[in-house]
Amino acid sequence: MTGNIKLSDNNKELSSFFTLFSKPIVFLSIIGIISIVIRLFYFPSDIPLVHDALNYFWYSIDLSITGEFPRVNPDIPTTKLFQYPNNGWPIFVSVFFSLTDSSNFIELMNLQRIISITSSIITIIPLYLLCRKFFTKKLSVIGVGIFSLHPLVIQNSLLGITEPLFILLGTICILFFLSRDYKIIIISFVVAALFTMVRYEGLIIFIPMSIIFIFRFRNSGKIILKYLLLASIFILILLPMAYLRTETIGHDGILSNVLGGTNYFVNATTQQSLSSNENSPIFSGIINFIKFSGMLSLPYLIFLIPYGFFKCIKKKNSENFTLIFISITMSLVAFYAYSRDIQEIRYLLILMPILSVISLYSIQKLFIFIKKDLIIIFLIFVILIISSLIYLEFTKIDYEYENDAYQFSKIVYEKTNIINQYTEDQYLRPVIAEFSNEFPKEKKDLPSPIKILSIVNFESIIQFIEVHEDDGLEYIVVDETSSKTEFLQEIYNNEKKYPFLEKIYDSSNSKYKVKLFWINYSNIEEGKDYNE
């Protein structure tokens, strides 16, 4: 009798456990925690920001110090980096910089990365609500997992750049726009304006939103007045930022960039024969779009997207039409970037929330065949996590190698203010903060950056040195991966054949294999016979 009561109690406890575990809030919390853990595992805590992320960092630092938008001053060359149009992200980051008292530039760069990661994780909430407009709670939880555990989304969130905030705002915009409440739709146009501030390409979302709104509410009263109000709100929010950008960088950074891109594409295509020239923008756009779409579909979307798109198109309703129309429109932005042969996957990442929703049609089909919902959900998440981790491991950045490259940049900076272009020279840009007496400080007050000389169109090291001797060139860097430049690779492999190059550093014990040579101009004649 006692045993039966005990067994009954255990069954109740087990039932309560599964009831709790099946609640969306529990699943979403677990997804959030797993997503954070994975990102922190791959977090590059000792590596400085580079490329676009570094430019955003300098902008955020200047804004947090002065409280004014950085200006492009022709008399101060270092301010030219502020000429980019997408300042919504660094403005957002500057708020957090102004709230911290850290004087360590690596810590501040890591803060920028953490803000980026946080934006990516927060996207879980609006994405779940977006999925709920199409599917059940259980399926919606899976949709969140498809997005937040995707390896390319994870990798991008670690870079400290615009996409995580851009994707977050884009998801919120679509979520609110699908509402039937006019007041909430108004908010969606407000968010669309903020979306455009983060990346000017976001302006294009105004087109499908306008068309869909008019189509959806064409039979309601005062549709024209309602739309004009939405359009006015969108424009009025963007106007102050457009004015500030015009005052600080010389153009509005929104419409000017969109029109500039359009003019470039039209001029480039009309100057070439599209039917025969494989270098035409359209041909490049198609090839690159297919290539990066294939990359985005790995490791698991490739199995979910085809049937999902078929069902989404087949199931005709305004919500599905909205997803398809917006995804096509935003794909045009990626196509334009790829037509210019820009080799970056991030232009397609804005589609990930929509693709996550569409993928659920395939998962829904699986639920119909197999009735064990919790088991299916558990297995799906195991597959998502394992496939994502395998992908991340195969494509991860070697942080030891990157750190070695960064440490080497310090050696170069201490030796000279001018150097040849080499594989990992991107670290010569952030290293100036390392040599500043104090930090943070405005970009113009930091030590001057090293001048990096292009090695393109040179046939020999002798020719390169003679051209730049009057510029004060004293050192040459060659590394193991200089294979694209034959004469640099030859120096690395056969340094004794160059008596005018005296090796002063060799990173033979580091992962980044690089050598630094001092140019002995008095012996340069001895090397001419061999090189010529």
Mean pLDDT on 142-164 = 97
The stretches of 370-459 forming alpha helices (DSSP H) are 373-395, 399-415
Q: Tokens 């690089």 correspond to what residue?
A: 514
Query: What span, in angstroms and rounded, lies between the C-alpha atoms of 390 and 412?
Result: 36
238 Cβ contact partners less than 8 Å away, ≥ 6 residues apart:
193, 196, 197, 254
**How big is the chain, counted in residues?**
532
Structure tokens that stand for 377 in this block: 């959900």
The residue ranking higher by pLDDT, 316 or 70, is 70
DSSP one-letter string for 238-255:
HHHHHHHHHHHHSS-SSH
Tell the burial category of 162 from Cβ atoms under 10 Å away from its Cβ (0-12, 13-18, 19+).
Answer: buried
Contact 122, 157 (CB under 8 A): no
Tell the burial category of 71 from Cβ atoms under 10 Å away from its Cβ (0-12, 13-18, 19+).
Answer: middle
Contact 304, 146 (CB under 8 A): yes
> What is the distance, to the nearest Å, from the Cα of residue 41 to the centroid of all Cα atoms in its chain?
19
Mean pLDDT on 172-196 = 97
**Least-confidence region, from 116-125, 165-174, 367-376:** 367-376
**How many alpha carbons lie under 13 Å from residue 91 in its C-beta half-sphere?**
15
CA angle 151-157-163, nearest 5°? 110
- pLDDT attached to residue 2: 42
Query: What span, in angstroms and rounded, lies between the C-alpha atoms of 495 and 500?
Result: 10
Element (H, E) at 487: helix 486-493
- Three-state DSSP state, 275: coil
Structure tokens that stand for 194 in this block: 């903020």
Structure tokens that stand for 459 in this block: 């046939």
pLDDT digits over 277-303, tens only?
556 788 889 999 999 999 999 999 999
Is 121 a residue whose pLDDT tops 50? yes
Residue 115: CB atoms within 10 Å: 20
> What is the distance, to the nearest Å, from the Cα of residue 245 to the centroid of all Cα atoms in its chain?
22
Pairing of strands 418-420, 501-506: unpaired
Structure tokens that stand for 85 in this block: 């149009």
Assign 272 a pLDDT band (cuts: 50, 70, 90): low
**Least-confidence region, from 69-78, 82-91, 355-364, 514-523:** 69-78
> What is the distance, to the nearest Å, from the Cα of residue 120 to the centroid of all Cα atoms in its chain?
11
Query: What span, in angstroms and rounded, lies between the C-alpha atoms of 481 and 503?
Result: 18
Measure Cα distances from 45 to 5, 90, 155, 241, 346 in Å: 55, 20, 14, 33, 22
Query: What span, in angstroms and rounded, lies between the C-alpha atoms of 361 and 519?
Result: 64
Q: Could you tell me the end-to-end alpha-carbon distance of the chain, in angstroms, rounded to an integer?
A: 100
DSSP one-letter string for 67-79:
SS-----TT-GGG
Q: 517 pairs with which residues across the strands?
A: 476, 503
Residue 9: CB atoms within 10 Å: 10
Query: What span, in angstroms and rounded, lies between the C-alpha atoms of 151 and 130?
Result: 21
Assign 256 a pLDDT band (cuts: 50, 70, 90): confident
Contact 501, 517 (CB under 8 A): yes
Query: What span, in angstroms and rounded, lies between the C-alpha atoms of 530 and 158?
Result: 47
- pLDDT attached to residue 394: 95
Element (H, E) at 453: strand 451-453
Residue 436: what are its φ and ψ, rounded to 5°?
-85, 140
Query: What span, in angstroms and rounded, lies between the C-alpha atoms of 93 and 80?
Result: 20
pLDDT digits over 495-506, tens only?
989 999 999 999
pLDDT digits over 235-247, tens only?
999 999 999 988 8
Assign 531 a pLDDT band (cuts: 50, 70, 90): low
**Least-confidence region, from 98-102, 131-135, 216-220, 416-420:** 216-220
pLDDT digits over 334-393, tens only?
999 999 889 999 999 999 999 999 999 999 998 888 877 778 888 999 999 999 999 999
Contact 512, 405 (CB under 8 A): yes
- pLDDT attached to residue 379: 92
Q: 118 pairs with which residues across the strands?
A: none
Structure tokens that stand for 167 in this block: 């994707």
- pLDDT attached to residue 9: 53
